[in-house]
Amino acid sequence: METGTMLKTLQDPMGIPFYPLVFQVLMVLTFALHIMFVNFTIGTSALAVYGHLRKEENWKQLSKSMARAVSVNVSMAMLLGIAPLLFVQVVYDPFWYASNTLSAAWVMGFIIIMMVAYSSAYVFYLGREKREGKGFTFYGVLALALFLSAGIIMHVLGYQLLQPEKWLGWYIKGDAVNTSGTSLHAFQLPRFLHYIIPSFAMTGIFLMLYAWYFKNREDMDKGYLDWVGRIGAKTAFLFTAMQSVVGFWWLLSLPGEFKFLANPFFLVGLVLGIALLVFLYSARRDPVRYAIPSILGAFVTIFAMSYTREALRMKYLGRFNYSIFDYKLDIDWGSTALFLATFVMGLAIIGYLLSVAYKSGRVAGEYVATPSMNKWGSISIALLLIWIVLVAGLGVIISVRNYL
Amino acid sequence: MYPIWEVPNLTAGIILALIATFHILPSHLSVSAMWFNIYVETKAYKENRPELLEFIKKYSLLLLIFSYVLGSLSGIGIWYAATVANPRGISGLIHNYVWGWATEWVFFIIEVTGIFIYYYTLGKVDRKTHLKIGWIFAIGSWPTMVIIVGILSFMLSPGKWPQTGSFFDGFFNQTYWSQLFMRTTLMFGISAAYAIAAATRLKNEEVRKFITKTASMWGLAGIILGSVLFLWYLKTLPAHPQELIAILAPKTLKMGMMGAAGLLVLYFIYANIKPLTIRLVPAILAIVVLFGGIFSTERMREMIRKPYIISQYMYSNQIIGKDIPAKGVSAETKIINERGILRVSPFVPQGLRDINETNLLQAGKMIALIECLSCHTLNESGLRPLPKMIKRVGLQEVETAQGFLDGLGEYPYMPTFAGTAMEKKALATYLVSLNKQ
């Protein structure tokens, strides 16, 4: 069976319920958010372990904060990973499913690895709170190593996906098939590194944010915060520079036929990447002041790079005449509206929650909400109740119409 | 058809079932636990009993780690397991319900940010604000159940969807409300069992007594109401699954469900009368019993969906068995019967696409991998092992085995055989060979 025909055969016959561009934008946007927290997770895990091994008081304190940050970062990474995982299956189903079933045992291994990694990260964080000492280093190192292994698995799945011409060769040996799912078939070092190196650059910016966030807290030591900010800015610049080298390495390893150097997505990503590097160079002078623009700039760059990655995928799969824009459409306005409305509502509610977290962390004692914050909270609760009433109402109408 | 993943002795389906069952505890706990928290927290503030907050701290950490570390991961695990066990099944669901899942995801974000902030800001923000966060979490996590029940129940009872192809017709199907209310009440049984376990770690005896007594009442109400609603749920099931319950459901599963409910009722009554005698080990045992009961119920739900993975649409072996004209989808069985499963599936060795006398056995095994493996292992032991079943039916001759395959669709839980006459012969040859092993 010719590869292009195979891909068409594998596509879901139901079609997709909305325009592919919308799924693509959502997929790339949520992937960018996801990978940012993956980077934070790996970077803060590494820093937590490193600081734990150092003797200086500053490092000890930073390690403690980082260990706590890991638990939140990994949760966010998982949470934000769900959306791109969902959307990739909508528009790239043949590729995602084939790549996953070919390495099925590893796909399940990923879950086990993440469970152990996450639990170890918690033991590292909570265990040290109770008892001082180096005994918990093991759990920190284990968590970091497992987070990286999980990254390798995801990288392989994402890379196998791009090579449908090789799938049959991986699966079939003579007249028999390999159903064990225990092999990982494709790995590309520069591509993998391009996802991992930013962990340290992003964590550098994370530290700048940390210094910025706590600067007005009376119970925090100024010297310590300055130190954290400086380390952050230095790391952010250094690893962003390294990232650009790895980026070119990856670029050069791509098939020449893609002419990716002239790809507009790539060029936008490149310009933003260079701008970020220059910006971070200046940020070293005053990390606290540059913290917010740095994270915004970094996110815009990550988003552009994520779209570049998507453009690259379109190049890879275009070789087999696959385009998500040819997907059979079966538009469903009702469920699309349900999502969009819920999404907007969700932003308002999540905004409230994050504001409480933000404001409460900035004061040393108990945070007392302002009347406008209280109002925002009450509106959030009301929105949720309205959502339930509307959806239940819709359900009742449909049930009455269909069954009574 | 995608590449097949064979898990010796188990089948990929069982891996999926195990993860899915585990996930029930954290997921139901996540939806119900905060109601209990808010109740206790409100009481602590109103009656000025700050000592109750010690429980809030413990129970929230349990919720955070159990539901949002292990629970989130096992939830993603279900998805991954479904991906590798039944990719076309999960694809069919996603291509219909992607916006449903995306909507649920918005509530996940509210839940996860909510629980972290609730846990970390206890005592660090004013009481009113902290309770508000609790309320947002409690109300905001129920919609995750409101949504997932629509998709889950759709798989078993797709309502008017086969005719209309409409998202909401499939979502609000005939078993939707009964299942939603059953899960909503049962989840309080789950949160109560966990609250009692968390309470055993409390130092203050008064608090422990109060929590255990209160939780036991919540638990009792949850289990009893849930059981009653379960009976309603059974009544709302379509005729086919009803029939399958009568034929298929093994006594052990029925006993598992009823036994667990009975034991839990006794446990909660005992906990109410003698709250301080409950220690950590029995409290955990109660959770294990709960798990057993839920496991039985969920296995039953999976069983009575047969022969489908998505009822009235796709068979368990991922072959589309019915036309859905509203979606422009035709059954694949016709084309497979004409051209052959080994010809239309992409992931088949070239040498097996044309069957002849020399490759009959190998081709037969390939067909078994594609069409049987989702429910039967090809080993001697494990889940519904084919060799054992063939021996039990006593298939000795290829002709009889072919006749058996012809009649497959007459079993209410088996899909019809899909393939050409030659493929049927190949599969029959393979099946008979299993009998001779």
**pLDDT digit string, tens, across residues B317-335:** 999 999 999 999 999 999 9
* DSSP string for residues in B131-144: HHHHHHHHHHHHHH
Give the pLDDT score at A132: 63
Query: Which CATH number characterizes residue B381's domain?
Result: 1.10.760
In angstroms, the separation between the Cα of residue B13 and the nearest Cα of chain A is 12
> Of all residues in chain B, what percent carry a pLDDT higher than 90?
77
Q: A2: which residues sit within 8 A by CB, 6+ positions away?
A: none
pLDDT per residue over A157-201, tens digit each? 999 999 999 999 999 999 999 999 999 999 999 999 999 999 999
Q: Is A97 close to B359, i.e. CB distance below 8 A?
A: no
pLDDT in tens, A44-53: 999 999 999 9
Quick one: pLDDT at residue A133? 62
B16 is a domain residue: yes
CA distance linking residue B389 with residue A65, whole number of Å:
59
The pLDDT, as a whole number, for residue A134 is 62
Tell me the nearest-neighbour CA distance from A154 into chain B, angstroms. 12
Residue B115, token pair as written in the block: 């629980």
Convert the pLDDT of each residue in B46-78 to its tens digit.
999 999 999 999 899 989 988 888 889 999 999
Whether residue B321 lies inside any domain: the answer is: no
How many contacts, defined by CB atoms under 8 Å, are there between A and B?
Answer: 286
* B316: in domain: no
Pairwise CB contact (< 8 Å): B166 & A332: yes
Q: Domain for residue B94, yes or no?
A: yes
Per-residue model confidence as pLDDT tens digits over B6-40: 998 888 888 888 888 889 889 889 999 999 999 99
| Contact yes or no for B3 and A179 at CB 8 A | yes
Asked if residues A269 and A194 have their Cβ atoms less than 8 Å apart, the reply is no
* pLDDT at residue B154 in the model: 96
Residue B432 confidence (pLDDT) above 70: yes
B182 found inside a domain: yes
Spatial CA neighbour of B15 closest among B27, B7, B24, B23? B7
Q: What is the pLDDT of residues A255-265, one digit of tens each?
A: 989 999 889 99
C-alpha distance from B96 to closest chain A C-alpha (Å) = 7
| Token duo for residue A127 | 């265990």
Are B70 and B162 within one domain? yes
Give the pLDDT of chain A (404 residues) as one tens digit per residue. Answer: 789 999 999 999 999 999 999 999 999 999 999 999 999 999 999 999 999 999 899 999 999 999 999 999 999 999 999 999 999 999 999 999 999 999 999 999 999 999 999 999 999 998 876 666 666 889 999 999 999 999 999 999 999 999 999 999 999 999 999 999 999 999 999 999 999 999 999 999 999 999 999 998 888 899 999 999 999 999 999 999 999 999 999 999 999 899 998 899 999 999 999 999 999 999 999 999 999 999 999 999 999 999 999 999 999 999 999 999 999 999 999 999 999 999 999 999 999 999 999 999 888 889 999 999 999 999 999 999 999 999 999 999 999 999 98
Backbone angles phi, psi at B269, to 5 degrees: -65, -45
pLDDT(B132) > 70: yes
Distance (Å, whole) CA B280 – CA A403: 47
**Which pLDDT belongs to residue A296?**
96
Note whether B128 and B259 are same-domain residues.
yes
Tell me which residue in B69, B100, B327 faces A330 most closely, judged by beta carbons: B327
- Note down the domain range covering B39: 12-237+249-303
* pLDDT tens figures, B242-283: 988 888 777 777 787 888 899 999 999 999 999 999 899 999
Residue A107 pLDDT? 96
Least Cα separation, residue B375 to chain A (angstroms): 16
Contact A164, A6 (CB under 8 A): yes
- Give the DSSP H/E element, type plus range, for residue A93: helix A93-102
- What CA–CA distance (Å, rounded) separates B340 from B85? 23
**How many angstroms separate the CA atoms of B198 and B190, rounded?**
12
Residue A177 phi, psi dihedral angles, 5° rounding: -115, 150
- pLDDT over 70, % of chain B: 100
Smallest CA–CA distance from A359 into chain B, residue: B125
Are B221 and B343 within one domain?
no
What are B172-214's pLDDT values in tens digits?
Answer: 999 999 999 999 999 999 999 999 999 999 989 999 999 999 9
- Whole-structure pTM value: 0.94
C-alpha distance from B210 to closest chain A C-alpha (Å): 28
Residue in A335, A355, A388 to test binding to B, most B beta-carbons within 10 Å: A335
Give me the pLDDT at residue B402, please: 94
pLDDT of A19 reads 97
A-chain CB neighbours of B325 within 8 Å are none
How far from A59 is each of A66, A138, A227, CA to CA, in Å? 10, 18, 10
Pair B129, B220 in one domain: yes
Residues B281 and B401 in one domain: no
Answer yes or no: is B243 within a domain: no
Q: Do A101 and B3 touch (CB under 8 A)?
A: yes
Q: What is the pLDDT of residues B66-119, one digit of tens each?
A: 888 888 999 999 999 999 999 999 999 999 999 999 999 999 999 999 999 999
Kindly determine whether residue B125 and residue A90, on different chains, have CB atoms separated by under 8 Å: no
Count the domains in chain B. 2
CB-CB neighbors (< 8 A) of B320 in chain A: 13
Residues B143 and B34 in one domain: yes
- CB-CB under 8 Å, A181 with B5: yes
Residue among B19, B27, B152, B148 at smallest CA distance from B77: B19
Q: How far is A75 from chain B (nearest CA, A)?
A: 7
Backbone torsion region of residue A363, taken as left when φ is above 0, otherwise alpha when ψ lies between -120 and 50, otherwise beta: beta
**Nearest residue on chain A to B332, judged by CA atoms?**
A13
For residues A213 and A208, give the distance between their C-alpha atoms in angstroms, rounded to a whole number. 9
User: Among residues B262, B284, B303, which one ends one of the domains?
Assistant: B303
Residues B201 and B343 in one domain: no
- Shared domain for B283 and B416, answered yes or no, is no
Nearest Cα neighbor of A227 from A40, A360, A51 is A51
Contact B121 A122 (CB under 8 A): no
Q: What is the pLDDT of residues B382-397, one digit of tens each?
A: 888 999 999 998 889 9
B277 and B345 belong to one structural domain = no
Q: B38 and B183 share a domain?
A: yes
Distance CA A159, CA A154 (A): 9
Same domain, B376 and B427: yes
As a whole number of angstroms, the distance between CA B92 and CA B315 comes to 11
| Candidates B83, B120, B365, partner chain A, best to mutate (most A CBs within 10 A) | B83
A381 CB neighbours in chain B (<8 A) are: 132, 135-136, 139
* Same domain (yes/no): B337, B288: no
Give the C-alpha separation, B81 to B16, whole Å. Answer: 5
Q: Verify whether the Cβ–Cβ distance A332 to B5 is below 8 Å.
A: no
Which residue has 């060795």 as its token pair?
A: B349
C-alpha angle A329-A333-A338 in degrees, rounded to nearest 5: 130
pLDDT of amino acid A402: 94
* Residue B244 belongs to some domain of the structure: no
Question: Which of B27, B109, B313 best probes binding to A when mutated, by most A CB atoms within 10 angstroms?
Answer: B109
CA A66 to chain centre: 18
* Tens-place pLDDT, residues B332-344: 999 999 999 999 9
Does a structural domain hold residue B151?
yes
CA distance A103 to A153: 9
Cβ contact, residue pair A395, B172, below 8 Å: yes
